[in-house]
Each structure stands twice: as C-alpha cells, then as structure tokens.
Amino acid sequence: MSSNRTFFVGGNFKLNGSKKLITEIVERLNNADLPSDVEVVIAPPAPYLALAVSLNKSKQVSVAGQNTYVKASGAYTGENSVEFLKDVGAKWVILGHSERRSYFHEDSELIAEKTKFAIDSGVKVILCVGELLEERKAGITLSVVEKQLDPVFAKVPKEKWASDIVVAYEPVWAIGTGLAATPDDAEETQLAIRKYIATKIGEAEAQKVRILYGGSANGKNATSFKDKKDVDGFLVGGASLKPEFIDIIKSRQ
C-alpha cells in the first residue's frame, strides 16, 4: 500500500443485526486501541444507522448506509435516501455491491447515477466492482470491471474520485464462499484497475484513489496482504460482525 493513502477497513453487516449486536460491535470498536493511521467505516442495516452513530465515540470510525436511491425524497416506497443518511449522521454509502447487482438487478448505469447523486449530496461512496467465477476463468476480469467503472467516470468529475470514492474490488466468487483470492491475485488485479483509472483521471489522481480488497477477508488472512502496494484496505462481510474485525483493522501494524 502506498504511504500516501490511508489504510481503510469497511464492515458491511449486510442483512444482519439487532440492537444488541450493533451495540456490541460499536462498543468493541470504542474500546479497541485502534491504530491512528486507519479509517474505519461500518455499514449496519438501515434501521440501526442512527443507533450506530449515537454509540460511536471514535473519530476514526464512520457509519455508512448499504444502499441509497437517486432521489432525495418522494413516492419511492422502501428506498433509502441520501438525505436520511445525512440526517442521522452517516457519512458513507456502499453502492454497486455484487448482491445488489445480481439479486436486485441493478446495472452499472443505475449504480453510476446513485454514485453521482450521493457525492453531489455530500455523502462519500464505497463503489464495488468485481467479476464472476466464469468471467475470471474466461480471462475477462479487467474487461468486466472496466464496464462497471465506465458509467461512473462519465458522471463523476476526476477531481472527486480520490476524495469521495473508495473502490472495493470484490471477486464475486470469493464473497461468502470461504474462497479468497491470493494476495498476489488481488495485487495483480488491483494494480490493473489502478492503471485503468489512471487512463481516465490521470496518473496523479489515480495514485490517490484507495482500492480495497473485498473477498472473504478475515482475521487470519488479512495480514498476508500487508506488503501489497495496491491493496489499500478491505471491505469485510461476515467477519465485521465478529471480534476478529479488530484484528483486520490492526493488520497493518
């Protein structure tokens, strides 16, 4: 990881949680001696966002929504608004997660619209990209990721990327499967992603963009990514609900 990019660990709780569990997780973070050079963002389900914000006492920890829509308000039953996130004190949102793309049929154009709307409204974005197993086997990983990123490049100005977007590379075949890309696999793919970003926003800006690895990262394997200069952190799923989340946050020490 480049020394000019702050290590970033996101925790995506997905459709998991209760008042008790959210309280336990946030208090664990409050009581942990977190390294000063790490940024942590946790994404509980929408009903628990305000609780997480109210309990959080760490300046290094922020709260994210797991999804938002392209409108601030109106007749959009069941959607989450960027304005709601801001109102309860959340600063980030996860967009483009493979589960949103596959289960809820969100295409890259809609995700780009959501990304632009969130950033224009003052909320930062963890933007997820990644390929299916058959796409990796076919050798088209980068082509898939480029097509996911291109609509965002078309909508978000280049000067906003480093400040308002963190890219999370999530090989879909490694999410919740127990399979994980090797650190070398992750580095190779994320270096290629950074080079592609550079063709769109320039080398200097691309070097500032943080690219996370998001495929079954856990307390045991996180340290093995330590020396990979294009792996700037992790977007963690199930492990973010457990005490080992602290180990992942401390994995660069």
DSSP string for residues in 89-101 = T--EEEES-HHHH
Q: Is 105 a catalytic residue?
A: no
- Two structure tokens written together for 172: 């879909």
Q: Which of 130, 66, 63, 124 is nearest to 95 (CA)?
A: 66
With contact defined as beta carbons under 8 Å apart, do 1 and 32 qualify? no
Q: Which of 17, 19, 9, 59 is nearest to 36 (CA)?
A: 59
Question: How many CB atoms lie under 10 A from the CB of residue 62?
Answer: 20
Catalytic residue among 39, 113, 146, 170: 170
Position of tokens 């933007």? 127
Catalytic residue among 39, 97, 106, 187: 97
Measured CA to CA, the distance from residue 45 to residue 201 in angstroms comes to 33
Q: Is 97 a catalytic residue?
A: yes
Q: Which residues are catalytic?
A: 97, 170
